[in-house]
Structure 1
């Protein structure tokens, strides 16, 4: 489905020009605009012009272009006038991963030491045997999907 055609998608509306946005960058494939609920000043989103609800729905080449664009923007943020000592790239895929708008989007979040943004999790280091078992299962799934393994 292309942007703005029969969707109830806020990002498709932005891509179509029927909703307001503060555009930072655009080309034939992607659009980057400031987030209206930013974690930090300069927090922006890079979205494909083509509607894709989740990462699995996104063409790999378009996904690569999305990340290349975010990479370029991150370099610009570090060199620009806004406070930026680091950058987080975040892609939330699915409701359980905190995706709120179901149109793939990559957050580019400028960071400073005192910005107050924190990622918290109850992390524990598993045994090597558990990691090796998980790695094997993921490799098997990749082989089943793509017919190859790169490990």
Structure 2
């Protein structure tokens, strides 16, 4: 089903999401520490960086790439060398995601806020071919327009394909 068709996305309880990220633990650290309720599909882990599928994807294969160390400012908290190592992982993961999903465009950006989701993380968001222009770019990324429903099996299957592309790449 194309992303712009009715029913392709389901609403996300944005108020509950905001409460969780603003008052709960760092979701990235909680995930990496194995805390219940913060599970994600791990795609990549080199001991210094990790990548995993978003729990609330607005695009198929939406992936987050993070330093394992809790850092909150991409400029102040990372040396130039650490920043470039992180970018190399972002590139590697984005290429594998792209190989699996064949997007029209891959958006790569860092989002977050010191008020919630403060852990530095990069978004790898593959835009499927055929999305109308007015639903691309930030529109495609915004959870306010809903998230893609997915079963645990669908997440696992996609993660398996991306992990295989990473291993082959």
Root mean square deviation of aligned Cα: 2.2
Using the alignment, how far apart are the partners of 1:31 and 1:51 within structure 2? Answer: 12
Give the match for residue 88 of structure 1. 107
The 3 A distance-change label for structure 1 pair 20 and 93 is closer
Higher Rg of the two aligned structures: 1
Where do 4+ consecutive residues of structure 1 move more than 4 Å?
none
- 1:107 maps onto 2:123 in alignment: yes
Alpha-carbon distance, 1:83 to partner: 4.5
Using the alignment, how far apart are the partners of 2:125 and 2:88 within structure 1? Answer: 15
2:87 alignment partner, one of 62, 67, 75: 67
Q: Which has the higher contact order (CA 8 A, sep 6+)?
A: 2
What is the TM-score of this pair, normalised by structure 2? Answer: 0.57
Alpha-carbon distance, 1:60 to partner: 2.8
- 1:50 maps onto 2:66 in alignment: no
Unaligned runs of 5+ in 2: 1-23, 140-169
Give the match for residue 14 of structure 1. 31
Q: How many residues align?
A: 110
SS of structure 1 residue aligned to 2:124: strand
Give the match for residue 149 of structure 1. none
SS of structure 1 residue aligned to 2:94: helix
SS of structure 2 residue aligned to 1:101: coil
**Paired residues of 1:29 and 1:62 also in contact (CA < 8 A):** no
What is the TM-score of this pair, normalised by structure 1? Answer: 0.64
Using the alignment, how far apart are the partners of 1:32 and 1:50 within structure 2? Answer: 13
More helix, by proportion? 2
**Paired residues of 1:33 and 1:44 also in contact (CA < 8 A):** yes
Alpha-carbon distance, 1:93 to partner: 5.6
The 3 A distance-change label for structure 1 pair 93 and 101 is closer
